[in-house]
Amino acid sequence: MLKFSRFRFLRHILIGLLSLACVVTFAACGANTTSTGSSAAGETLKVATEPAFPPFESQAASGGGLEGFDIDLMNAIGEAAGLTVEFESLPFDGIIPALQSGTVDAAISAMTITAERAEAVSFSRPYFKAGLAIAVKEGDSATTSLDSLKGKRIAVQIGTTGADEAKKVEGAKITTFDSAPLALQELANGNVDAVINDAPVTLYAVKSGNIPSVKVATDKLLTEEFYGIAMPKDSPTVEQVNAGLKTIIDNGKYAEIYKKWFDSEPPQLPETAL
């Protein structure tokens, strides 16, 4: 009898310890679930970019990550919208196909909002005002307009609005490159007469001294273009990104990032570009 109750006593202790272990385990599981839950609220957004378009996006020289206006802007939008931004580098002409197949959730790559692209993807509200410029060799004073490039050799980046503009020039011999720096280098090497590219990028390349003896042909831009963040067609992310963008425009963060990269006050942006 005594033996039996001792056994019962031990059994009680054992059950007690087991239940305690269970409670601790469940509490730990519970805590885990909670933290997974809160990181699900801070959903990860896979964002494509072509990092060869400074000052908008490029690989940091120091072997660091990506840097540029678009990179800072996208991170600030993510922060404002409660989204964790993860960048993925892609060639520019691979970005829209990646959005269409859903391998990425968004793209920020100095991408001009055009009617044609807007059929394939959905854009955020405009986040930057840009336009195309003609780049020529420093000594060239004959190039004063798109018209003056008739029959000349023009280098462009594949799949860009600059490439579309070059197609309008009668008799021009167009060479396409995978990136804008390669097209500009071709001009610096004297192998083409002009490059048609986004003005802020060409001006930045000239100013930084990366592309020697090249200048922008005219002060007047060929086009007025607005950049947008592209997302899969009708993605619910559009609303989140627009809300984040509005927050940082209103609270001054946008202006701070703009000043960091362009050393001037940002212009007024329209609500839509098309």
The answer to whether the CB of 131 falls within 8 A of the CB of 223 is yes
The answer to whether the CB of 181 falls within 8 A of the CB of 150 is no
Maximum pairwise Cα distance, the chain: 114
Beta strands per DSSP E along 55-193: 57-59, 66-67, 84-89, 106-107, 121-123, 128-130, 132-137, 153-157, 173-177
Return the closest-CA partner of residue 163 out of 197, 201, 205: 197
Counting contacts by CB under 6 A, is residue 109 touching ligand GLN?
A: yes
Q: Binding marks (x or -) toward ligand GLN, 178..197, rule CB under 6 A?
A: --x-----------------
How far does Cα 265 stand from its chain's mean position?
21
Out of 45, 53, 217, 226, which residue is the one contacting ligand GLN (CB under 6 A)?
Answer: 53
Cα gap 206→48, rounded to integer Å: 26
Out of 85, 111, 205, 238, which residue is the one contacting ligand GLN (CB under 6 A)?
Answer: 111
Interacting span for ligand GLN (CB under 6 A) from 28-36, 97-105, 157-165, 232-240: 157-165
Out of 122, 157, 202, 237, which residue is the one contacting ligand GLN (CB under 6 A)?
Answer: 157
Counting contacts by CB under 6 A, is residue 124 touching ligand GLN?
A: no
Least spacing, CB of residue 112 vs ligand GLN, in Å: 4
Interacting span for ligand GLN (CB under 6 A) from 63-71, 153-161, 183-191, 250-258: 153-161
Least spacing, CB of residue 118 vs ligand GLN, in Å: 12
| CB of 80 or CB of 132, closer to ligand GLN | 132
Give, as ranges, the residues between 198 and 217 that touch ligand GLN (CB under 6 A): 198
Alpha helices in 140-233 (DSSP H): 161-167, 180-188, 199-208
Q: Binding marks (x or -) toward ligand GLN, 22..51, rule CB under 6 A?
A: ----------------------------x-
Cα gap 217→141, rounded to integer Å: 8
Cα gap 182→198, rounded to integer Å: 14
Cα gap 76→255, rounded to integer Å: 12
Least spacing, CB of residue 225 vs ligand GLN, in Å: 6
Counting contacts by CB under 6 A, is residue 240 touching ligand GLN?
A: no
Q: Which residues bind ligand GLN (CB under 6 A)?
A: 50, 53, 92, 109-112, 157, 160-161, 180, 198
